[in-house]
Homo-oligomer: A and B are copies of this chain.
Amino acid sequence: MQADFWVTDANAGLLTDAYELTMLQAYWREQMIGPAAFSLYMRRLPKSRNYLIACGLDDVLRFLERLHFDADAIDYLSTLGRFDRAFLEWLAGLRFTGSVWAMPEGTPAFAEEPLLEVEASLPEAQLLETFVMNQVHFQTMAASKGARVVHAAAGRQVVDFGLRRIHGADAGLKAARAFHIAGVHATSNVLAGKAYGVPIAGTMAHSYVQAHETELDAFRAFARAWPETILLVDTYDTVRGVRNVAALARELGDEFRVRGIRLDSGDLHALAVEARAILDEAGLRDVRIFASGGLDEHEIERLLSRGAPIDAFGVGSLMGVSADAPYLDSVYKLVEYSGQGRTKLAPKKRILPGRKQVFRMESNGESSGDVIARAEETLPGRALLVHVMHNGRRTQAGTESLEAARSRAQQELARLPARVRAITPAEPQYPTRLSIELERYWMELSANVGESAPGDGA
């Protein structure tokens, strides 16, 4: 068997919770292969989020198009000694042949609204649960955080610096894309540039300065190698670092083309003010000030509200791991089997039964509220769930460019009420409700489940 130190198309089918496979063998034995529908949604939003930005769909569809268990995977499962040989043979032939409806990437989403719904045979629809949640949860969390940081930066550029402390290699790659959809301008992550075309940015580290005899030596050498660079000025003393930039400008005269300086520690407001004054006095009005180090949307808003002369922000760990809300209450729930709606009664964990649609209402160009409805309803407003996969293949709507998703996010965010776009908790929250039909269906099923199902066999 091959080594599996990386997740790839070849082994992604095994990146699943073991219970998906134990359930699959049970379904296979019972021949419970009727049509099922599952909804992926967030039960509620973190207190610090007024909205989410749907993200991760492209990876989900790619996964579903390629989902399979190769000989190596089947061999491994057989070594566990718990699966039937005939089941494993059936599993080896399994492909995803169902349909997916989803909110396109970049769509603002709220609690209980399906980000995606899957319609397929029960085993197929069950099997994909873990992987699909892993991608949609993380990417939606990242895009949602990124949109807040971009909002706080109020038009100034934001660069993703998160790779070194983000949770693993896949998160680093996918988050750079999610942040870009959310409006982040560029990333430090070179592979994300190659994979997705996200603009990449990066200049120098403290080590470069340290490795030279003096800071000015380092600045001089770096500006020779990269004339239009941004120089990191806080290795020894920020103010003296800025003076060294001014000294280099005097030294190089017309050849000085350095675009900016980066502050990475200390009181960023005070240092930006002082740096701006030194630069201006040296005639370096075009040299921009870039700030990084422990930034998030709140710190950026605080800096800008006090008038800090900062032109761009590098944002790392706090955005990369969505530090104030590092997970969402995401679930993937069975809502229909064999034509019957399904629900669940665990406390505070209701499941809205049946396939659904979400309608976003607008007035005067502003989103005024969402209605979660049954799939077959037609209500006022825009229908947000789109048919993105059919018979296991992407539809036209399931194939879109990164730029299309990024534009959507920008446009849709602009339509949200200002209090919802803000980084402080919205009061009142963005209104969402169930349609009358869906409310009635949920009540009806809950009552039935409560009466007929459990305990009565005892």
Contact = CB atoms under 8 A, between A and B. Distances in A.
A349 interface: yes
Interface in A118-156: 122, 126, 129-131, 133-135, 137-138, 141
A210 B343 contact: yes
Contact of A194 (B14, B165, B241, B342): B14
Interface in A1-42: 1, 3-9, 11-12, 14-23, 25-27, 29-30, 32, 36, 38
A327 B317 contact: yes
Interface stretch (A97-105, A196-204, A405-413, A416-424): A196-204
A107 to B, nearest CB: 21
A450 interface: yes
A339 B168 CA distance: 33
B202 A22 contact: yes
A9 B11 contact: no
A161 interface: yes
A225 B169 CA distance: 38
Contacts of A346: 206, 234-236, 238, 264-266
A17 B221 contact: no
A216 B126 contact: no
Given A5-B59, A168-B171, A244-B454, 11 more contacts: A15-B189, A16-B163, A18-B188, A18-B190, A130-B188, A164-B330, A165-B327, A216-B457, A238-B346, A317-B327, A326-B326
28 contacts: A4-B195, A7-B173, A11-B194, A12-B169, A14-B194, A15-B163, A15-B189, A17-B190, A21-B202, A23-B207, A30-B221, A73-B194, A80-B200, A134-B164, A169-B170, A207-B342, A210-B334, A210-B344, A214-B453, A214-B454, A217-B457, A235-B454, A236-B453, A237-B454, A265-B347, A265-B348, A321-B326, A323-B326
